[in-house]
Structure 1
Amino acid sequence: MRTKLFFVFTILSGLTGLLTGCDSLRNEVDPSVLGAESPRLVVHGFLSPQSRVLAVRVTRSQTVVGDSVGGAVTIDDSLADEADDVVDAVVTISEGGRSVNLRYKANGLPYYSARAGELLITVGKTYTLTVQTPNGERATSSCTIPGPVGLTSIRFDSLQSGRTQRYFVRARWYDVANQTNYYQVTGAFRFIADCPECTTKPGYIEREEFSNLSFDDNSRGLLTDADGNDEMISGRAYLNGANVDTQLPFRRQYKTATVTMNLLNIEPSYYQYWTAVIRQRRTRGNPFAEPVMIPSNIQGGLGCFAGYSNSTLTLRIK
């Protein structure tokens, strides 16, 4: 018995020493010795013939070292604070002998923009973006606009989840043959709720409500035709705000209900950038996750400048 007790005591003593030793491995490091990069220009711009505005966001990157929180690069507007915006740059988009200067906060929002009519965006043409700051920073990129691919149908369906019926749609379209293609599907659900008791409330005004579709696949609506299918089908896109009790059918919940879906035929750089961003977001808060490198096609900076074409189809459910 004494031998067993001595053996257990020896193991516990060793573990205690090991855990105590871990604290000795933790040392304060002067950030200056880590060689952190200086902030760089971060540029985001996406051009489409169907867009009414030419828009480019210009910020500066944030390093991990220091008091800032987050990744090494500000990857999109949801992670960029307006305080990080570069507000004094000269931002130009050009094609051939034509060009347009974008103006900061031209429409009140924190990016450089111009009306689409000032430089028409055309399928098959290549556009060059130039960002120049007063202190000599310069970032450039280019993109070529792909042609649109039309949606063929939207299918409405549901599945049971406990006592709740969840409603979703799927988009279908035919892939462009003999080339590798990249797509993104987005959409929105618009409805007017059927609420008889609401009409008796003073000041009640019936309004159409709006919510974005929520995709359940890991790619969040991003797809490629790598598997060679002729007909392509999106993942489930759930109708937010449409989770109703099974005892009350969907059509009795709404006076009107429509789903609009967009199919974006996108450049490879657009696809590669956003798939990496999505992977990075899934690792947030996990200290053991493998770091995700965000690709960039911005020379002299970071970010993405890419082209796409959009086609739209609307399904009226009620």
Structure 2
Amino acid sequence: MKRIYTVFLLLGLLVTGCENMRQEIEPAGLDHVAKKLVIIGFISPQDTIIAIKVTATRPVMDENYATNYGTVKNAKVILATGNRSVQLTYNGKFDYYQADPKKFPLRVGESYQVTAQTPEGLKAAGSCTIPQPARLQHMRLDSVEDANRQKKYFVRYYWEDTPQSSDYYQTSGLFTYAKPCPSCKGDAGSKPKPETTPVVFEPLGQTGTLMTDKARDGKVLESCRGFLNQGAITQSLSDKYSFSSTYDRALVKGTLLHVDEAYYHYHQALELQKKSDGNPFAEPVLLPNTIEGGLGCFAGYYQSSLTVTFR
């Protein structure tokens, strides 16, 4: 009887403790947070279209929370610099506001302001400056042995950093290749069909494609390793095949973005969010905000591309 009594006593204490930890929250006790506009836009002189995304937040305790947020289709969106301005039109297919850069060219070193306003009176604005050119100068092909003694090919990008300034970069690329086709040699009109895959950059610390010129200001910068066709084409070290015998044709279109600070920190936070997704023990990552009167990020970048054929 004493053991049974002790068990019930412990259960009673646990239940009482849980009851003390529980708190009832009345909706009236929550602070009302008004709906805000969210502006996401990244502009570059090399863009074929100027695109700005405008959405709305989901307000706390909004009775129409299921429909009172999302893409905003009726905003007046203006992009301006100096005495020039253009009103962007809504594209219902892609859910963004757009303008033709041929009619409103974006220029290096100029500052741009974007404003979005709805008929209901919601308004938000952001500004950015297009960074100076940073040109991708050359690429180098190399290989590495993995844990399974398989050879994997990768490229590195090289470019010269602008001295006496804090600079931020992002790398990307596409690998286009065709496998050897011995049966095609007899048919002059038959060639192996090319395939295209993204260049996969390994992470450097917490992020992979983003870099700064910290500690290397004004010097030649080197990207992380960008693996080609990762996981699809590997060679045993015992094989006598070379890169040229593995691929009939192979070229890399490398892209270097010289981005502003807002672009760098926003995309850095996005990468950290993706890494912590699904991890209940990871600390929450807050996205930086550069929009006045709203949320989001409006930033500029300069894009440089270089295409190299490897044999």
- TM-score w.r.t. length of structure 1: 0.80
- Which residue of the partner structure matches residue 272 of structure 1? 265
Shift of 1:206: 4.8
Q: Deviations over 1:112-144 (max 9, x none)?
A: 112111211011111110111111111111111
1:234 aligns with 2:223: yes
Q: Which residue of 2 aligns with 1:308?
A: 301
What is the percentage of aligned positions where both structures have the same residue? Answer: 38
Alignment CA distance shift 1:63-1:212 (3 Å): farther
- 1:121 maps to 2:111: no
Q: CA deviation at 1:163?
A: 4.6
Whether the 8 Å CA contact 1:164–1:243 is kept in 2: the answer is: no
Structure 1 CA distance for aligned equivalents of residues 154 and 26 of structure 2: 52
> SS of 1:135's equivalent?
coil
Q: Distance in 1 between matches of 2:207 and 2:37?
A: 27
Structure 2 gap ranges (5+)? 63-68
Q: What is the rounded CA distance, in whole Å, between the counterparts of 1:21 and 1:252 in structure 2?
A: 73
> What is the CA–CA distance in structure 2 between the aligned matches of 1:179 and 1:271, rounded to whole Å?
15
| Shift in Å, 1:254 | 2.5
2:198 maps to a residue whose letter is: N
Higher helix share: 1
- Note the 1:279-290 alignment, pairs <5 A: 279-290=272-283
CA contact (8 A) 2:33 2:60 kept: no
Moved more, 255-264 or 16-25: 16-25
Does the CA contact (< 8 Å) of 2:180 and 2:245 recur in 1?
Answer: yes
Deviations 1:76-132 (A, max 9, x none): xxxxxxx821111111111122111111117x3221112111211011111110111
Q: Report what 1:155 is aligned to.
A: 140
1:249 and 1:256 map into 2 onto residues whose CA distance is: 13
Q: Distance in 2 between matches of 1:216 and 1:34?
A: 44
Query: Aligned pair count?
Result: 289
Alignment of 1:145-294 (within 5 A): 145-161=130-146, 162-196=148-182, 206-217=192-203, 218-229=206-217, 230-240=219-229, 242-246=232-236, 247=239, 248-294=241-287
1:14 CA drift (Å): 10
Q: Would the aligned equivalents of 1:276 and 1:292 in 2 still touch at CA under 8 Å? A: yes
2-structure distance, mates of 1:158, 1:250: 9
Q: State the partner residue of 2:65.
A: none
Structure 2 match to 1:111: 96
**Whole-angstrom distance in 2 between the partners of 1:250 and 1:280:** 36
Scaled by the length of structure 2, the TM-score of the pair is: 0.81
Distance 2:9 2:264 in 1: 52
- Which stretch has the larger CA shift, 45-54 or 163-172? 163-172
Say if 1:148 and 1:264, in contact at 8 Å, map to a contact too: no
What are the residue-to-residue correspondences of 1:133-152 with 2, within 5 Å?
Answer: 133-152=118-137
CA distance in 1, matches of 2:12, 2:137: 67
Aligned match of 1:61 in 52, 57, 63? 57
- Letter of the 2:202 counterpart: D
Compute the RMSD of aligned alpha carbons.
3.1
- In the alignment, what sits opposite 1:51? 47
Equivalent position SS for 2:284? coil
Q: Is the 8 A contact 2:117 2:123 kept in 1?
A: yes
Among 78, 87, 90, the alignment partner of 2:76 is 90
**Distance in 2 between the 1:195 and 1:27 partners?**
70
Cα distance in 1 for residues equivalent to 2:50 and 2:306 = 23
Partners in 2 of 1:186 and 1:27 — Cα distance?
49
Unpaired stretches in structure 1, ≥5 consecutive residues: 1-5, 67-82
Give the Cα–Cα distance (whole angstroms) in 2 for the partners of residues 239 and 122 of structure 1: 33
1:22, CA displacement in angstroms? 6.9
CA contact (8 A) 1:266 1:308 kept: yes
Shift of 1:255: 2.3
Distance 1:251 1:19 in 2: 70
